[in-house]
Chains A and B, each alone.
Chain A
Amino acid sequence: MNAHDEVQRTLNPTCTGTSVIALQYKTGVVVLTDRVVSYGKMARYKNVSRQYKVNDNVLIAFGGDHADFHWLQNVIERQVLLWKRFDQDIGPKALHGYLTSLLYAKRCKMNPVWNTLVVAGVEEEEKNNKETSTPFIGVITQKGCAYQVKHIATGLGAFLLNQAVEDEWRKKGEDLSREEAEAVLRKSLELTLYHDCVADNEFEIGRVDATEGVVLGKEEKIIGDWSIAETNCQYE
């Protein structure tokens, strides 16, 4: 490795995104991300989406360095076209597997893609039969560690939210309807708003549904409950 290599490696993240929260429901997956690019602790750019629609079955959300995902989005686009040459739509499991290998290989070369990726989608078990499609959430960390889950929170959300989301999940499990799943996500977002320095209150909820395909979310805003500020907050 010569000195020239340093120039080409991502050694520190600069413009970053924070948590991603995703949850399976009966017929698909809902994903929540906020819309701010943080430059260290400064909220530098607003209204930037962290969810990318790959095709009608797959949605990718990311946290971590934005520039690295920009590059990755290009690579994913090329993979999709490669599959299209054989008249296939890439499925979430296949994309998840491909990205795992890619991120692990880059990590081994000490040039990581500084992103935590959440691949959300609906996997077709039988061709052209929507009835048997199953929802899929796959996570890949920046070191290339990958796993499949039914619900996930990444970033600082991993510490704050995983238990809250799990509690809601245990109530109804796979029988959650879309509205109930979205309600769980919104409630979880409130927690990040209260306890994550780099979280923003403007967010979007995207979903992948077996019948509707990928529906990207419109921008929404949440304010939270600040009645705690009315009590005596002096330190004496």
Chain B
Amino acid sequence: MDTMRDEKRKAIPAIGFYPQEEISTGTTLIAMEYNGGVVVGTDSRTSAGSFITSRATNKITPITDNMVVCRSGSAADTQAIADIAKYHIDVYTMTENKPVTIYRSSQIFRQFLYNYREQLSASVLVAGWDEELGGQVYAIPIGGFVSRQRSTASGSGSTFVQGFLDSQWRPNLTLEECKAIVKQAVGLATFRDGSSGGVVRLAVINKAGSQFELFRPDKPGFPFVQTPTPHLSFPPHIEQVL
């Protein structure tokens, strides 16, 4: 399967086919439990190579009133999987006449992400709230391994903030503390990762349902990263401005 993929990517000038960089949500996804639910935060950049194809994407996709999936990896793959899994979850909800638990939903995602693992490039976070277990976050990286997490990051920007999240985590966070940590983490990752950027989208999922928030760079509330004052760029004898 892998070799077939590579062959398909050769250019065929005769019919005008030129392979382009796959459109991926090179991304920052952060999800964290607090005492009462979960908070998830994402950036909003979709890129194809160095080009930003969409600068205000919404990577938090609602599946039910009490559950969202955060998508990273190939944009097309994750959109298709989210649609298919949502359909299955909707059918179960209707036929059983009660909401599907978050754990079961993550297993439904796993059914597709694991069985088609060679054909897909998708890494998701399933986050939600249900009566049984309260707020839950399930991380499903590439390959389809499911694990429940208290605090996790996914996507290319996650590497820059793993340390930050590790240092900030403590049990029994309040909603405000959790939102501040998630927002700051997305801000820090966006600051360094070229594949992450744009606005910060936050979602809080608890007993009351899902509340979505938007933080724009041109409005107050956007996470601020303090940069140190610079040194000279060129040797000191060169005329330059600091």
Q: Measuring CB to CB, which residues of chain A are less than 8 angstroms from any residue of chain B?
A: 38, 40-44, 46-49, 52-53, 73, 77, 156, 159, 194-198, 204, 216-218, 223-231, 233-235
Contacts and interface: CB of A to CB of B under 8 A. Distances in A.
A223 B241 contact: no
A41 B26 contact: yes
B81 to A, nearest CB: 12
B193 A217 contact: no
B214 interface: yes
A217 B241 CA distance: 7
Contacts of B233: 47-49
A77 B181 CA distance: 48
B51 A233 contact: no
A196 to B, nearest CB: 6
Given A42-B192, A234-B61, A229 B198 contact: yes
Given A194-B52, A197-B195, A49 B61 contact: no
Interface string B20-61: 000000100000000000000000110101111001111001
A216 B241 contact: yes
A46 B227 CA distance: 8
A41 B193 contact: yes
Contacts of B219: 226
A40 B192 CA distance: 11
A202 B227 CA distance: 11
B221 interface: no
A230 B173 CA distance: 29
A90 to B, nearest CB: 15
B194 A229 contact: no
B199 A41 contact: no
A42 B79 CA distance: 26
A197 B214 contact: no
B50 A197 contact: yes
Contacts of A194: 52, 55
Nearest to B53: A195
Contact of B241 (A40, A198, A204): A204
Nearest to B232: A49
Given A195-B51, A204-B241, A233 B218 contact: no
B230 interface: yes
Nearest to A52: B234
Contact of B218 (A197, A225, A231): A225
Contact of A156 (B45, B51, B58): B51
Contact of A42 (B44, B194, B216, B238): B194
A198 B197 CA distance: 10
A218 B56 contact: no
B97 interface: no
Contact of B195 (A41, A159, A225): A41
Nearest to A197: B194
A228 B238 contact: no
A38 B194 CA distance: 8
